[in-house]
Structure 1
Amino acid sequence: MDKRNETSGADFILLGLFLDMKHIRFFIGAMLVIYIVALTLNFVLILLICVDSHLHTPMYFLLSQLALMDMTLISSTVPKMATNFFSGRRNISRVACGTQIFFFLTLGIAECILITLMSYDRYVAICNPLRYTLIMSQKVCLQMAAIWAGGALTSLAHTAYTMHFPICGSREISHFLCEVMAILKLACDDVSAYEKAVTVTSIVVILIPLSLIMSSYALIFLATLHMKSPEGRDKALATCSSHLTAVCLYYGPAMVVYMRPNSYHNPKLGQVLLVLGPILTPLLNPLIYGLRNKEVVGALRKVLS
């Protein structure tokens, strides 16, 4: 298509979520309920970790970072989706679209790294308990918090390169958010090389942390088999199983969406998977990591009393 037809200043049009669904208003309402509950649970979790001195440990520091990321991640998608639906205006400016891509990628990459660090923290706590305070020192925890910077730099590069492509013809995005692969479908230039680069980056960002996570939990599982205390073994296995459930819910959709060739890209499947990942995961994480934890429940009872 002729690049002279490109309209760089025009807004994009977000067509929304599941256009052919009959009860779309009920679905959007359910998304808003999930959003409010997720914000409340994550905020309460952060508050408990801050006010209870018993929770001032590396594990709960990482958990507070995860809760903060989840609050920001779900806030980068659901409010705009709901606003567009109820207002009837589906446009989003090029700057706002790039901003949404930036935050979405930053938080996605940062969470991949953070969940990996949390699995390592559990490995050290169970397999090397005597050296835990030495390995997971306060300095190490602060260094771990720098994962925000790593995610921001990577996403900034991808956002800038994605948004520099000229857009010709239709500016309709068949999605409820601005997303890299959806923007590339509208580009005038040949983006096949960059699509491959996105796939390679996704493999590095997803598979390497996932392999480290699985290795950590495999070592934890082997260590629990040699535990003499049945209660300790059951507690460790229960913790690992719940954490692996959260890992599957987060990494599964990301692998399907970003690690498949673009020729096999299905927009409807991508929408379903992005609902499971960035929207449902912030709701489930505080339940899986926090409220199933006896120490967190005890801190909550103290605050309520």
Structure 2
Amino acid sequence: MAKDNDTAEFGFFLIGISNYPEWRDTFFTMLLITYLCTLLGNGLIIFLILFDPHLHTPMYFFLSNLSFLDLCYGTASMPQALVHCFSIHPYLSYSQCFTQMSVSLALATAECLLLAVMAYDRVVAISNPLHYSMVMNGPVCLWLAVSLWGISVVLSAMLVLSLRLRFCGAKVINHFVCEILSLLKLACSDTSVNELMILITGIFTLLLPFGFVLLSYVRIAAAVLRIRSSQGKFKAFSTCGSHLTVVTIFYGTTISMYIKPQSKSSPDQDKFISVFYGALTPMLNPLIYSLRNKDVKGAMRKVMAKMA
């Protein structure tokens, strides 16, 4: 990412919540609770999956990846946003801004792809249970995980390294964190190529995975409808509905930000929308995907029994 001498020396100031001082205490409290729940919930899931051999299956392998990703994603931005809540002039150096933006982009891209992989895993398990262990064997699961992490790093690196931005005047970012769209709005150089790259990348990492997830849930719903037990149908639809709600929140908010003309976006609106996929989704994922699961509850009881 190109930089001028002033930017390299002074960095950026972040507005954050400072233009809404009446909401500062409430925002700080809610964000702190959200971050602590994210750490506790996702950390517990990772520990239980490592602890209990019964959870060493493809589904829980991908869930542990999701929990690790959410831990990293939350930690990449929320602690800094908490610290800056009561700062008069929240500041990030150029290198800090560059690093945070790169890490956040890679993690967000990885989550988009991982949710699609998890949907594929569930489709195979429900639609083709007899061949599930052969289709989703250990090497395949490892290959899928390595591939999605590798693709995420490459795509985010391409986006960040392709930035050729020149900043003029006050270097003030209207956001809680250093975010690529906010930087583009701040630049006084032509950003049309960068906006096009973000749009193209968004199609492959947002629209296509989201479409695949929706189709996967259609197939899952069709399989559930063949279940004779009404109680079984209700339980399956309840679980799928919860999963789909979280997926829709994550994809919906990110799509609303990145797959649209940037001239029609509102900085204040965008930064509060980002709270949904940057803070709320990492907190909800362990609750929706894992903690209500009977296998995870069983592993939790084993841990508590050993500690007793």
Coarse TM-score class (shorter-chain normalised): over 0.9
Could you say which residue in structure 1 is the equivalent of 2:255? 255
Alpha-carbon distance between aligned partners in 2 of 1:152 and 1:4, rounded to the nearest angstrom: 26
3-state SS of the aligned residue for 1:13?
strand
Displacement of 1:196: 2.2
Moved more, 264-273 or 41-50: 264-273
Displacement of 1:52: 0.5
The answer to whether 1:94 aligns with 2:94 is yes
Could you say which residue in structure 1 is the equivalent of 2:167? 167
3-state SS of the aligned residue for 1:77?
helix
Residues 93-126 of structure 1 deviation map (CA, whole Å, 9 limit, x = unaligned):
1111111111111011100110001111111111
Given that residues 116 and 213 in structure 1 are in contact (C-alpha distance below 8 angstroms), is that contact kept between their aligned partners in structure 2?
Answer: yes
Residues 269-294 of structure 1 deviation map (CA, whole Å, 9 limit, x = unaligned):
11121111110111100000011111
The 3 A distance-change label for structure 1 pair 203 and 235 is same
Structure 2 unaligned regions, length at least 5: none
Alpha-carbon distance between aligned partners in 2 of 1:105 and 1:42, rounded to the nearest angstrom: 20
Computed over aligned residues only, the root mean square deviation of the Cα atoms, in angstroms, reads 1.7
Residues 145-195 of structure 1 deviation map (CA, whole Å, 9 limit, x = unaligned):
111111011111111223x41211110001111111111112231112321
3-state SS of the aligned residue for 2:13?
strand
Alpha-carbon distance between aligned partners in 1 of 2:78 and 2:124, rounded to the nearest angstrom: 36
Displacement of 1:232: 3.3
Displacement of 1:18: 6.0
* 2:275 counterpart letter in structure 1: V
Could you say which residue in structure 2 is the equivalent of 1:269? 269
Displacement of 1:91: 1.1
Displacement of 1:31: 0.6
Given that residues 8 and 167 in structure 1 are in contact (C-alpha distance below 8 angstroms), is that contact kept between their aligned partners in structure 2?
Answer: no
The answer to whether 1:240 aligns with 2:240 is yes
Taking structure 2 as the reference length, what is the TM-score of the superposition? 0.93
Given that residues 221 and 237 in structure 2 are in contact (C-alpha distance below 8 angstroms), is that contact kept between their aligned partners in structure 1?
Answer: yes
Structure 1 unaligned regions, length at least 5: none
3-state SS of the aligned residue for 2:178?
coil
Residues 32-77 of structure 1 deviation map (CA, whole Å, 9 limit, x = unaligned):
1210111011000100000011111000000000000000001011
The answer to whether 1:298 aligns with 2:284 is no
Could you say which residue in structure 1 is the equivalent of 2:187? 187
3-state SS of the aligned residue for 2:288?
helix
3-state SS of the aligned residue for 1:196?
helix
Given that residues 14 and 172 in structure 1 are in contact (C-alpha distance below 8 angstroms), is that contact kept between their aligned partners in structure 2?
Answer: yes
Could you say which residue in structure 2 is the equivalent of 1:109? 109
Structure 1 runs (4+) deviating above 6 angstroms are none
3-state SS of the aligned residue for 2:170?
coil
Could you say which residue in structure 1 is the equivalent of 2:154? 153
Given that residues 6 and 168 in structure 1 are in contact (C-alpha distance below 8 angstroms), is that contact kept between their aligned partners in structure 2?
Answer: no
The residue correspondences of 1:14-93 to structure 2 (distance < 5 A) are 14-17=14-17, 19-93=19-93
Given that residues 18 and 268 in structure 1 are in contact (C-alpha distance below 8 angstroms), is that contact kept between their aligned partners in structure 2?
Answer: no
Moved more, 91-100 or 194-203: 194-203
Alpha-carbon distance between aligned partners in 2 of 1:139 and 1:4, rounded to the nearest angstrom: 46
Residues 202-255 of structure 1 deviation map (CA, whole Å, 9 limit, x = unaligned):
122111001111111101111111223334333322221111011111111101
